[in-house]
Each structure stands twice: as C-alpha cells, then as structure tokens.
Structure 1
Amino acid sequence: MNTLPPGGVIPELFHGLFDDAAVFPPGNLPVVDAVPAHRLHRTAWYTEAVGPLLCGAGRLGELAAAVANSPETAAIQGRAAGADGSVAAGGRPLKVGLVLPGGSTELAPALAAAAPFELAGVELATRDATEAVAALDRLLPPDVPAAVELPRELLRGDGLDAVLDVLVDSPYRAKFRTGGLVAEAFPDEDELAAFLTGCARRGLPYKCTAGLHNAVRHTDPETGFEHHGFLNVLLAAQETDRTAAAAVLAERDGEVLAKAVRSLTDRQVTVIRNSFTAFGTCSIAEPLGDLAALGLLSSPSPLHQEDR
C-alpha cells in the first residue's frame, strides 16, 4: 500500500465517517496487514475521515500480537509501549472498535481482552434490545459509546418502532446492516428509509455497516447486487418522511447528489452527522476516491487503486 502525500482537505460532513473494517468481508485483510495499513491511515492527509480499526471479539488476541510484533512498536519499545506492546504510531494505544456478533455474553471477556487498546466503541449484535441495553449499562465503561444491532427481520413492521423506542431511552446508538455477501443482505430503499426516518423522528443516532463503501447508489456489475451509496444515506439522514427518504436513497446520479451536498448548510451538516455517525468499510481509499471524483474532496493527488 502506498502512502498518500499531505495537503488534502476533509469537509466536516465526512469527519470520522469511515470506520476501518479492513479485516471483515469482503476485504478480509489479514490482521497482521491491517495494523500497519491503519497506522498509515492515521498519519495520512485524510486521517480526519477515518474512524477506529474494527475488530471482532474473537480476534483481539491476534490483533494484540500483530501490534506487539510490528516494526512500529519495536521502534518505540521501552519508551511508550506497554508490557504487551499494544501501541500505535507515536506511542498511543491503537484505537479499536469492538464488534460483538455473539451478543452480550461476549461483552465482559471482550472488554477485558481489549484492555491494551484505546476502546473507541462497542457494536453489539443481539435479538433482544432490552437485554442488550441492560448488559451495556452494567458492564460498559461510561465513556465508551456503543451501538446495538438487531437482525433486519426483527426490524420490520411494528418491530422497528419497538426496538427504536428501547434504544432512544438509552445512551446507545442503533446499528443497521446495509449489505453483505448475498443479494438478500441488501435492504431496498423503503426498508432502509423506514429505519432512517424512524431514527430521525426520535433523534436517535445510528451507524451502518456493509455494502456502503461507494458514494452513489449502483448495481454491482459483477454480482448484480443493489448497493446503497453513502452520499444517499447522508442526504436521507435529514429526512423524517419515509417517502422522501426513499426517493433520496434511490437517486443514482452522482452529480445530483454532489450538488445537494454542496448546498447543505452548516446546520444541516450538523443534523446529518448527529444522526448518521459512521459506517464500516473494508476500503478507506475507495470512498475517498469517489468523493474526489465528484469534486467533493480536495485531495493532494489522485487516489489510485494501489492506494486502496
């Protein structure tokens, strides 16, 4: 992976938007490679756009070993590194978002295993929002944010309102899956609009994950999957009307979306980012490249495929 020169500008709308999900499908970058790649993101001109490195609970030991054995850690060993060497470039702990696909039973052991890192957040998958909130209330340090994800089949019809009502009375965000490895993993515009507007009406923040690393809605030419665009989601995040949100999500013209982004006021940007806080992407350079191509990002040089 080539580093990119300094000098770019990241608009406020995109600050911290791209959580680094490089080790998750479909990217599946080995953890030993994901650590130095994330460190490069953290020192690159676009660092303001980058969130934490996401890691599943079952791979924290692998992550600690990769950090401890990295050349960067060896260079600072004895100065800023801890006993296990779990530090990032510059002597600071690696900022990690903890993903718990196994539910709240994973929470306590995962928190203990994540002790060497700077815990940026917890993402907890569950089938019971009330139980998940109770577990987070009991075990999560008060300064650590969390997001709760329920299966999409439980968020249809009255189930969506019931779950969002539980979360809005908690300190935690919602999390919604916007794609995956099969066509059925991708919600259509109306289903996603129902989630977005349900959150917007309640003032409930959320993050998204999977299938969202391109800026504009499109059909993947290889798989035929219908991918949502993260610009579509950003713009739809300010809508409280489901039909209006679905129309924004359906837009496939990048120039139309780019024009709408350029017309946003500072207040609208604040509203949008208070709602849609981040999404996981296995590529950091790909969404940045899309933004640069649409003229929404001032980058110091083109983002080539080899930078991804």
Structure 2
Amino acid sequence: MSSAIPALFRALFDDAAVFPPGNLPIAEAVPAHRAHRAAWYAEAVGPFLCGAGRLGELASAVDGPAAGPMTDGPVLRVGLVLPGGSAELAPALAAAAPFEVAGVELATRDAAGAVAELGRLLAPEVPAAVELPRELLRGEGLEAALDLLADTPYRAKFRTGGLAAEAFPDEEELAAFLAGCARRGLAYKCTAGLHNAVRHTDATTGFEHHGFLNVLLAAQETDPKAAAEVLAERDGEVLAQSVRTLTDRQITVIRDSFTAFGTCSIAEPLADLAALGLVPAHPLPQEDR
C-alpha cells in the first residue's frame, strides 16, 4: 500500500542484515530481503547492503534455490560497502555485475582521493557516500571534510554506533556533523546503532544509543546547539508529536539531508514507529537473530 509508509520514512532503512550485530547468513538474508520488498512496509526498505568481500557469496545465494521470489525487480538492488577504501571500488563494481548497484559506501582517510576515484569509476547516476574516521571529523577537520564533499555529487556517511561504547558519538559530536551538513546542503547517511526510534540507554550493554527519530528531527537544524537538544530528547511521545506537526516542506528538507541509515533489523525500527502511532500496526517481519 503506497500510503502505508509516510514520506518521512520511505527508503529510510537500508537492509544491513548481514552486518554486526545481526550477522544473518547471506543465504538467509537474501530471502528475508525479498520478503521485505514484497511486504506492506516495502516503501520503507532500501537496498541490500553487502561488503565488497562477500559479493561472490551473495551471487551464489541469489542464484540458489533459497533465494526467494524475484519481488525486487529483475535483479537484486545492492548497496556496496567498501571498508577498504578506493582500492576496493573497481573490483567490487566488477563483482557486482549480477546486481543493480543502488549505491556505494566508501570508507577512507583520503576524501579527495576517494572523490577522484568515484568520479573516475562510478556511473553518474549511482549515488555514493564517503565515510571518514570520526577522529578526522572534529573541529577544523570536520569543516574541511564537509567543505570538500559539498563540492561533489557525493554524500557524507557518519558512524553512529558499533560494538563498543566509544563507537557511539555523543550528542554534541553528532550535532556538529548534522548542523555542518545542513548549513552546506550536504546529504548524508548514517550507520550502526540506530535500530530504535528514540534515544535510550541499552539495558544490556549500557551503551547510549541515538534514536533515528531524533536524528531525523535534528537534520533540519543548522545550529549545533539546537541539533544537540533534539538528539538528547528521550521522550518518544514528544518526538512523535514533533513528527506529526512537520510540514511537507520540512519533510523534504529532512530527507534531502538524512537519506538513509543501515540497520541489521527491519522489524525493530518499524515496531518502534508502530508503537508511537507513526505507521500502521500491521504484522511486522519475523527476524531470526
């Protein structure tokens, strides 16, 4: 149903099922992704994310008997994740020939070199995002990196979590990135730690997780202090009410900025939105973890 997913959440959840902490085997993740793309919430689901080193395994899974119905079009839409930087781009594009390349995410310490290599090898219609280490995105380093990317066709990518407490940026660090992008009109995607809608402390790990609703609402702020205040909000009803009052213009600004985030669970973010009354309470996917 085209009206089941509001515009604010369409194509927001890139399917990172095979990445930590989910680590779903590719042979299981492919049919699960096919099921997502055939479900009532399909408009919320982005491409299937796959690391450069697993594209051969993915090709075998797509061709295998457990691949599932071809509900995602004639070929699987894949987002290429390149943790090894620019050197992985050419071989990954070659290995991705059986798929539709829906995007490229390239981690690097050399933004200028990554931009040059993307311009040389990537078709202009394929979106790409450049991820720099967080230690290079502080102070003047952040301003320089965002200035460089703002003059290119490419997005920024920011890591919002991981498997250790130090992998999670605090409100001020994330707010500086969001506001810097907003001031430049620079689009970005996020990855890791955003499974849930609302900022919270994980009861098991004690890690402080940002909420994807917080990030969506903060995306329209050009002032880092204002963005940090939104990121710090822990009341889901407060955030949900803010979402309900967004204008069409605000939604466009937000999603032109914050384009997507990778999540190893599609069920968790949908369940949070349903609990807040922001999407219908239809049956949600069953995910093995």
- Structure 1 residues 307 and 257: alpha-carbon distance in aligned structure 2, compared to 1, 3 A threshold: farther
Give a deviation string over 1:232-290, Cα, whole Å, max 9, x none. 00000000000000000000000000000000000000000000000000000110000
- Matched residues in 2 for 1:244 and 1:281: separation? 26
Deviations 1:94-130 (A, max 9, x none): 0000000000000000000001001100000000110
Deviations 1:162-220 (A, max 9, x none): 00011000000000000000000000000000000000000000000000010000000
1:89 is displaced (CA, Å) by 3.2
Question: Which entry has the higher C-alpha Rg, 1 or 2?
Answer: 1
Distance 2:173 2:66 in 1: 46
Write the mapping of 1:21-36 to structure 2, written as runs, cut at 5 A. Answer: 21-36=16-31
Question: Would the alpha carbon gap of residues 177 and 90 (structure 1) be closer, same or farther in structure 2, given more than 3 Å must change?
Answer: closer
Give me the whole-angstrom Cα distance separating, in 2, the residues matched to 1:294 and 1:271: 23
CA shift for structure 1 position 306: 5.4
Residue 141 of structure 1 corresponds to 123
Shift, 1:139, TM fit = 0.4
User: Counterpart amino acid of 1:208?
Assistant: C
Aligned residues: 289
Percent of aligned positions that are identical:
78
Is 1:249 paired with 2:244? Answer: no
Query: Which residue is 1:118 aligned to?
Result: 100
Structure 1 unpaired stretches of 5+: 1-5, 76-87
CA distance in 1, matches of 2:285, 2:86: 40
1:305 Cα deviation from its structure 2 partner: 6.0
* Runs of 4+ deviating beyond 2 Å: 70-73, 88-91, 303-308
Q: After TM superposition, list the pairs within 5 Å mapping 1:59-70 onto structure 2.
A: 59-70=54-65
Q: Is the 8 A contact 1:194 1:242 kept in 2?
A: yes
For residue 70 of structure 1, report the CA deviation from its aligned partner.
2.8
CA distance in 1, matches of 2:176, 2:98: 39
In 2: Cα distance, 1:111 partner to 1:7 partner: 32
1:1-308 correspondence to structure 2 within 5 Å: 9-71=4-66, 88-89=70-71, 92-301=74-283, 303=284
C-alpha distance 179-9 of structure 1, shift in aligned 2 (>3 A): same
**Do the aligned residues in 2 keep the contact of 1:72 with 1:89 (CA within 8 Å)?**
no
- Structure 2: runs of 5+ lacking an equivalent: none
Distance 1:285 1:223 in 2: 20
With the length of structure 1 as denominator, give the TM-score of the two structures: 0.91
Check conservation: 2:47, 2:79, Cα contact below 8 A.
Answer: yes
**Aligned-residue CA RMSD in angstroms?**
1.6
